[in-house]
Amino acid sequence: MSKGSGYSLSVRNFYKKAKIPLELMLPSSRTGFTKEINVSTAEQNSSSVKVWGKNEINTHRRNSPKQRREFVRKKIQGTACFILTEGLCYPDEVKRRAKTKRIALFRTPLSKKKVRARLKVIFSSHGLKQMTLSGGLLRVFGVGVLIIGDSGIGKSESILELITRGHAFVSDDVVQIKKTPAGHLTGNAVSLSRNFMEIRGLGIINIKKIFGAKSACRKTSIDLVISLKKWEKGKEYDRLGLKFPETHEILGKKIPRISIPVAPGRNISTLIEVACKVFLLKEKGYHAAEEISEKLDRVLAAG
């Protein structure tokens, strides 16, 4: 169960998405098609997908054999695939190194500038219909809740306690999120970790085997994001909830988000349950903070 703040796309799926807009020519073999491209942001893709043009080819040609090998070695590090623009051909040194490292080599007749511009569109969250996030997912009072936070903050422990209270577990650590044609978000566990959780001190446990079939479900809508944050001494927190909710953008869709400060003695699972109840009430138009403010205004006006 790997952790990470980003999400990825296999080279195979990237080729399916990009072959028409980038006019990609399929390499002689599908070497490297199982590699993953980090597509958290368009900027990060400059390291995962290398786009080369005349400058890079000319630089390679001008170098000595030793310099060429070093040039290619540096450029190939952390790379999922290459795209060579303007109909150019790869130098033999690049082809040999890419074959050894199992890196896909694509070619296109388009200019380098045009390829970079179209890559940003392809990799933008609006262009994607699925992604992978680090976090936990479960249903609480019928609300699909995505729980995120720093490693070691207590996400898994809080989720486990919520399961013991009868709420349905979907995923721990890694969540696969998809956007439906109607624009809604759904989440599920990756197949290898379905029904499993990793708890410090206990190791990996099977939720379905321990708590029964009703304790887990395969997928859920994502209605609310809860961000667990370490309590910062001296920081002023919103006590009335007038700033609730924040928003969290996933695949171009904004989801309501509540940030819960984590500190010793705070029962995070109970706070998550309350947050879900507050969310449901707000969906029906009830705002407790506004009611308190109105009562306060009436008291002040009467005085």
Distance CA 31, CA 51 (A): 18
* Overall CATH class of domain 8-123: alpha beta
DSSP letter at 175 equals E
Task: Locate 102 and state its tokens.
Answer: 């199992």
35, 76 Cβ separation under 8 angstroms: no
Q: How far is it, in rounded angstroms, from Cα 239 to Cα 243?
A: 9
Nearest to 82 by CA among 64, 97, 67: 97
Q: Where in the chain is the domain with CATH 3.40.50.300?
A: 130-292
Which residues form the catalytic set? 155, 173, 239
Contact 139, 147 (CB under 8 A): no
* CATH 3.40.1390.20 in the chain, residue ranges: 8-123
Q: pLDDT digit of tens for each residue in the chain (303 aa)?
A: 333 444 567 888 888 888 888 999 876 677 888 888 876 544 444 568 899 999 989 988 888 888 888 888 888 887 889 999 999 999 888 888 888 888 999 999 999 999 998 887 777 644 567 778 888 999 999 999 999 987 778 889 999 999 999 999 999 888 999 988 788 999 999 888 899 998 888 889 999 999 999 999 999 999 999 999 888 777 766 654 545 567 888 887 889 998 888 888 888 999 999 889 888 888 887 777 667 666 666 766 665
Specify which residues 169 forms β-bridges with. Answer: 138, 216
How many degrees, rounded to 5, is the angle at CA 270 between CA 267 and CA 274?
135
Q: For residue 233, with 0-12 CB atoms within 10 Å meaning exposed, 13-18 middle and 19 or more buried, which class applies? A: exposed
| Whether the model pTM is above 0.75 | no
Whole-angstrom Cα distance, residue 248 to residue 239?
21
Class of domain 130-292: alpha beta
For residue 160, the model assigns a pLDDT of 95
